[in-house]
A = this chain, B = another copy of it.
Amino acid sequence: MKIGLDLMGGDFAPSEAIEGIQQYFSEGGKAHLVLLGDEGRLQPLLSKYSFASEKFTVVHAPEVIDFHDSPTRALKEKPRSSISIGFHLLATGKTDAFISAGNTGAMLVGSLYALKPIEGVLRPTISTIIPKENGGTGLLLDVGLNSDCKPEQLNQFAIMGSVYAQNILGIENPRVALLNIGEEEGKGNLLAQATYPLLKENKHINFVGNVEGRDLLLDNADVMVCDGFTGNVILKLAESLFEVTHKKQIHHEYFERFNFENYGGTPVLGISKPVIIGHGISKGKAFKNMIALAEKMIEKDVMQKLQAELVS
């Protein structure tokens, strides 16, 4: 199992990525890591750690796609960047997953165009973990890859979220709900009204009906489906809750769970291989969790299971 890791991506690259590798290995991580970045810069840093040489390979990638780079142009014009090479290795089977906390747009464009979508997938999607107030874990998707959605897309997100919740979050028979602005069938905007009947008929999911904004933090559903505009607003509001409570010194176990570092990064679902996109401000713990997530996704063969549910 080989996992590609961009060491040049994120505000604290490469040191925090290397810190994450250290944590991953020390916790018994099994994957071989393919580290992408400027070799001259990386080797002195890596040599400070005592990683076993069979545990990793460094692949020289002298270019960096910055945060302000235009994603599509940068991928073309910087073919020797860590992100470009990372996708190339993944697409050609040299690695089994790819992780970066670099330019989010470039990671999304790369996911959509360097890799194949799973057969039958209308649109890949990204999700976020929502900490439930009772200690449980919910999955919300889409959270920004698809700002305008069609009902058929939401119907597929429901399947993808369900497979992910089952395999990665360990939730048996996940309850899938439509995020809406009313409880009964027929409520909501045109998209929600048209999506409800599709979800109701969908035999691949355990559909439990609508949930509302007030249910997001409650344990009324495991997988919550919405368009990427609404989902992205919620994602960023949830992330800010962690920041605001910290700033106000409201220290409580519940709000600690809104720290994205616990979950690492966002996997792109609906493409042929695992790609995990990290936050720009990722530190060691976030990198460690992203590598562990990639390992789990490969181990559980989540992409294959997604395909099986989507085409059957």
Contact = CB atoms under 8 A, between A and B. Distances in A.
A232 B237 CA distance: 14
Given A240-B214, A240-B218, A232 B181 contact: yes
A-side interface mostly: helix
How many copies of the polypeptide does the oligomer hold? 2
Interface string A197-208: 000000000000
Interface in A196-253: 212-218, 226-230, 232-241, 243-244, 247-248, 250, 252
A305 to B, nearest CB: 29
A212 B236 contact: yes
A189 B150 CA distance: 13
Given A213-B235, A254-B250, A188 B240 contact: no
A227 B189 contact: yes
Nearest to A253: B248
Contacts of A240: 213-218
Interface of A: 133, 144, 147-148, 179, 181, 188-190, 192, 212-218, 226-230, 232-241, 243-244, 247-248, 250, 252, 254-255
